[in-house]
Amino acid sequence: MTRLHLASFAHLVAAAVAAIALAACGGTSTGGLGPCETGIPDPACRLPCISDGNCPTGFHCGDDGTCTAECSPDGSGCGAGQSCDNSGHCFDDTSGTDGNDCPSVTVSPMPRTPSVQLLIDQSGSMTQNFGGVTRWNAVKNALVGGSGVVTTLGGQVVFGASLYTYNRNNDSSCPRISRTPTRMLNNAGAISTLLNGAQPDADTPTGESIQRVIQDFQQNPPPANSVPVILLATDGEPDRCSNPDAHDAQSRQMSVDAAAAAYAAGIRTIVLSVGNDTGEDHLQAVANAGAGQNPQTGPATFYRANNPAELSAALSQIITGILSCEFDLSGVVDVNRADEGTVTLSSSGGGTCQAAGNLTRGSQWEMVDENTIRVLGAACDALKAGSCTLQATFACGTIIL
């Protein structure tokens, strides 16, 4: 489980400019007929493993927990125009050289202007006390108050907002979605009008509401080169339209499935719990699904805030992290082999990078998806200071250009 319990967050983005160099072979693993599939299997094929490092040269760790190889070092087992790397993966060899002599491919991170649709729980429990104010008013202030994240970062993020609830006594359809007319830069006025014109009401059909936002993104796509994100801010366990009192496993699964559907549609879902009424296992599962990970075992980060200061800090960390610590790659990384990569920060621009050196995957960097790297923790803070260059080197065959 991954949980961030937040107290405060530092200043906004400074001047984080980085160049990402990916040294790798172009191509994709196709699954050849290697030494574990023909004739008498190589003894290495039976070795148990957890990672590729447990296997001898020429082999990698397979999905069944034993060493395997799609091909042999001489290239046998691969298709025409392919070579075999030193971990037993086939890759498309466009270098005209030996498969272990990879050309260097350099790409730059895409400028990131995220399109964030705020999906805000409008259920009745948002009237509960939250450090001296209601949860509802704390959300409004953290978004569109004088220091709110939409107020301060609205010129860098395409923001829109949707409120969701369902009142079975008054609403003719479920979920009831109220939204800003559009997503756009500098949209604080419309979001403020939406929030000020609404009050907490009734139920929490989270799964169906995520589905509605997916439809909205499909009908109103983000600008070119803008990554779509759903930022779900909810304060309680989900229910569903067919049974508004059912805060049960089925309602939870609907939320997880909706987050997975959003990811399949190219939309990430980030989860923020307003208060501690929602179980951590459920928040973790939705966060995992929203990041394209296994809902039960994924390590995606979810956020929880228990007072207004923590809520403002969480929203700031989420948005500034998207702005300055995530990098789009023009190539696609085989995420199953991302642990073969080396990510390094070095000093640039005459300054000193406070996190210079190789970063540790999991605690200091991660793959958000197959073409996005996220830098974490102190390394992210160092990038925001503007004196670091980011470089990532991956093994042959890990990059699909």
How high does pLDDT run on average in the chain? 81
Q: Return contacts of 288-296, CB within 8 angstroms, 24+ apart.
A: 289/256, 289/257, 289/259, 289/260, 289/263, 290/230, 290/232, 290/259, 290/260, 290/262, 290/263, 291/263, 291/368, 291/369, 292/260, 292/263, 292/268, 292/369, 295/256, 295/260
Host H or E run for residue 150: helix 149-153
Residue-wise pLDDT tens digits, 211-235: 999 999 999 999 877 889 999 999 9
Q: Within 13 Å and on the Cβ side, how many CA atoms surround 370?
A: 13
**Residues forming a β-bridge with 177:** 164
Give residue 370's pLDDT band: very low, low, confident or very high (50, 70, 90). confident
Is the whole model's pTM more than 0.95, yes or no?
no
pLDDT at 397: 59
- CB-based contacts of 258: which residues, under 8 Å, 6+ apart? 206, 207, 208, 210, 211, 214
Phi, psi angles (nearest 5°) of residue 263: -65, -40
Give residue 103's pLDDT band: very low, low, confident or very high (50, 70, 90). very low
pLDDT at 175 exceeding the cut of 50: yes
Alpha-helical segments (H) within 158-234: 188-196, 206-219
Cα 12 off chain centre by: 20
More confident residue, 345 or 130: 130
Residue-wise pLDDT tens digits, 382-400: 877 667 777 777 766 555 4
pLDDT at 203 exceeding the cut of 80: yes
The percent of residues above 90 in pLDDT, for the chain, comes to 47
Q: Which residue has the tokens 């990510």?
A: 343
Domains contained in the chain, CATH given: 20-24+105-109+329-400 (no CATH), 27-101 (no CATH), 128-323 (3.40.50.410)
Which is it for strands 268-274 and 228-234: parallel, antiparallel or unpaired? parallel
pLDDT at 239 exceeding the cut of 70: yes
pLDDT at 7 exceeding the cut of 80: no
Q: Which of 197, 178, 183 is nearest to 150 (CA)?
A: 183
Residue-wise pLDDT tens digits, 9-35: 333 233 333 333 333 333 333 445 678
pLDDT at 66 exceeding the cut of 60: yes
Q: Which residue has the tokens 């991660």?
A: 366
**CA pair distance 237, 274, nearest whole angstrom:** 11
pLDDT at 332: 74
Cβ-in-10-Å burial (0-12, 13-18, 19+) of 16 comes to buried
More confident residue, 215 or 71: 215
